[in-house]
Structures are given as structure tokens and as C-alpha cells.
Amino acid sequence: MKIKVGFGFDVHQLKDNHPFFVGGVNLEHHKGAFGHSDADVLLHAVCDALLGAANLRDIGFHFKNTDPQWKGISSIVLLKETVKLIREKGWEIGNIDAMLCLEAPKINPHIPQMQENIAKAIAISIEDISIKATTNEQMGFIGREEGVVAYAVCLIQKG
């Protein structure tokens, strides 16, 4: 059996009175992530981890932020397309481990729904998806609630 590990990172600016999608969940908050798609920082980091593990470049290569096809699109769609690309190369997903870094809102109550959304989108068990969250202890652009960051690692396998 061949296995590979991938790492993903994403960051989005937070803006007042903007929707805030994380892990396919629309969070109630006075600020939200801004981007070409729905700016779901968690799903973008997961996509980059999966694409990197399969040596398929990155999310921006496949889903350009200048392409009107992807304007405002749900990142669940981008995740499904990403999984299709890696499965076309014969890879299956072993697990995903992700970390969100933001000051607010609290993420813990939403983690089960995020895990369910990801599991459903990529057809793996919720048990194989770990999502954690931390703050930046009020330091830097994260601490000032100017942006949100996500990191993800994954394992893919074939044979």
C-alpha cells in the first residue's frame, strides 16, 4: 500500500456584516470571511491538503479566483471536485486533521456539523475527520478579528 500526507493552509480577511461559512456551516457572527467563493477557510485548507498529497498543485490552480464559475460557490462543491480529482488518480482518503485559528465565534458547538458536512461530501467516516479550534490569544490580525486561518493535514492511500 502506498500512502501520502498532505498539508493545507488558508487565510481569509474578516469583514463586518458578511456571511461566515466554516466547514459548510453558516456561523452567526458580526463578521464573516471574504473571498471569491464562500471563503470557507476550513474547506479550502482541506482541499489544499488533499491536492498537495496527490501532487495535484493547489486550490487556486484548479478553482481560480478570477473564474466567474466559482464566484460565490459553496466550498462543499470545491471539496467534492477536489475529491473527484484525487480519486481519478486512484487515491482514497484515510483521514483529515484540521485546526482553525480565530478569536470568535466559538467553534466547538459547530464541530459535529462540520464533521458531518465534510464526511458526507467526501464519503468517509466522521471518525476519520478531526477538527479543532484555538484562538491567537488576542495577538496579531487574528487577535484583532481581522482574519481567520485554517490548517489541515490529510493521509491518502492507494493499493
Residue list for the binding site for a divalent metal cation: 10, 12, 44
Annotated binding-site ranges: 10-12, 36-37, 44, 58-60, 63-67, 134-137, 141, 144
As a whole number of angstroms, the longest Cα–Cα distance in the chain is 48
For residue 111, the one-letter residue type is I
Neighbouring-strand partners of residue 129: 96
The Cα–Cα gap between 95 and 74 comes to 22
> SS3 of 135, please?
coil
The residues, any chain, with a CB within 8 Å of residue 134's CB and separated by 6 or more, are 99, 100, 101
